[in-house]
């Protein structure tokens, strides 16, 4: 979101919608992290574009998390039913997990971008041979 734009804060009646967005966002992030973890031992299965896109999308996702945290903080200041208060508390915990998962995704993507197929193809033959012989580059 651009800094000049102001968010539209939602009434507590939007709690089910916000809950589904937060829950689905966390599940999506966890799924992406699992996928990236599979590429950790063989980052060459990824290309530069894919890793850059992960960094872009989840970088924006990290920014959006702050908006959801602010929305929940605003609701906490309102009179809530016990069920609403419990849900806001649960969603606050979900956002904390989400923030941790997204940070892991961004960190792993930064590591993986050093070994993408594009980074390998940019190396000259001697540099590539040294990387293979030194164990920096695993066997495909």
Intervals of the chain under pLDDT 70:
1-4, 128, 131-132, 137-140
pTM for the full model?
0.82
Q: How many domains does the chain have?
A: 1
Q: What are 53-82's pLDDT values in tens digits?
A: 999 999 999 888 999 999 999 999 999 999
Q: Are 67 and 1 in contact (CB under 8 A)?
A: yes
Any domain includes 51: yes
Any domain includes 66: yes
Any domain includes 59: yes
Any domain includes 6: no
Cα distance between residue 89 and residue 133, in whole Å: 53
* Helix and strand numbers, DSSP H then E, in the chain: 5, 0
Any domain includes 80: yes
Cα distance between residue 4 and residue 19, in whole Å: 26
Any domain includes 5: no
- CA-to-CA separations, 114 to 44, 48, 57, 110, 119, in angstroms, rounded: 9, 9, 19, 7, 7
- Please tell me the predicted confidence (pLDDT) of residue 138: 57
List the domain range (segments joined by +) for residue 82: 13-134
Any domain includes 113: yes
- Please tell me the predicted confidence (pLDDT) of residue 107: 97
Q: What are the structure tokens assigned to 113, written together?
A: 């971008």
Any domain includes 4: no
């Amino acid at each position: 979101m651009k800094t000049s734009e102001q968010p539209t804060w939602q009434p507590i009646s939007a709690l089910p919608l916000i809950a589904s967005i937060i829950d689905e966002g966390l599940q999506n992030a966890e799924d992406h992290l699992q996928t990236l973890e599979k590429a950790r031992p063989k980052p060459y299965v990824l290309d530069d574009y894919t890793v850059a896109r992960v960094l872009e999308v989840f970088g924006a996702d990290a920014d959006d998390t702050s908006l959801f945290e602010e929305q929940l903080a605003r609701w906490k200041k309102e009179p809530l039913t016990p069920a609403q208060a419990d849900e806001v508390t649960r969603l606050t915990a979900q956002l904390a997990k989400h923030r941790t998962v997204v940070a892991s995704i961004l960190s792993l993507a930064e590591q993986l971008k050093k070994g993408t197929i594009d980074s390998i193809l940019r190396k000259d033959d001697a540099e590539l041979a040294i990387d293979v012989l030194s164990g920096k580059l695993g066997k495909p």
